[in-house]
Amino acid sequence: MKRAGILNRHLSAGIALLGHTDTVLVCDVGLPIPDGPFVVDLAFTAGVPSFERVLTGLMDELVVERATAAREIRGANPGASALLDRIFPAPALDLVPHEELKARTAGARLVVRTGEARPYANVLLRCGVPF
């Protein structure tokens, strides 16, 4: 049994499959998820687990070279917007229209669905390498 880090076996297995340039989508409870990516649904109740908690937990285990979020997050969800700015200082964060972000989800290798119930709490992470 794992002692620390991400204990969810499905999420841990999904992370182990990732390589350089693979993408991981961390999304809120409302984002439509297309068929294709491996999905780990962590949503329990509205707000649990939060986008912030899941994203910070993933960042402890992943090497991320870039992130992409919906431009609409700036006005609609200041808390999540500030979180992304803290974790991904410029120029590591790209902002695109929400419809474009949704279109990119089909290419994600892994999707992690949170219980977040605030709008636009979604980010696409591009995996890097530790060297």
pLDDT tens digit sequence for 68-90 = 999 999 999 999 999 999 999 99
**What is the pTM assigned to this prediction?**
0.96
Task: Tell me, yes or no, whether 65 lies in a domain.
Answer: yes
pLDDT tens digit sequence for 39-70 = 999 999 999 999 999 999 999 999 999 999 99
Binding residues for substrate: 28, 98, 120-122
- Is there a catalytic annotation at residue 10? no
What is the domain extent for residue 84?
21-127
List 5, 13, 17, 20, catalytic entry: 20
Task: Tell me, yes or no, whether 81 lies in a domain.
Answer: yes
Task: Tell me, yes or no, whether 66 lies in a domain.
Answer: yes
Task: Tell me, yes or no, whether 14 lies in a domain.
Answer: no
State both tokens at 22.
Answer: 């693979």
Task: Tell me, yes or no, whether 35 lies in a domain.
Answer: yes
CATH number at residue 28: 3.40.1650.10
Output phi, psi for 45, to 5 deg.
-140, 170
With H, G, I as helix, E, B as strand and everything else as coil, classify residue 98.
helix
For the chain, how many structural domains are there in total? 1
Beta bridge partners of 96: 70
Task: Tell me, yes or no, whether 74 lies in a domain.
Answer: yes
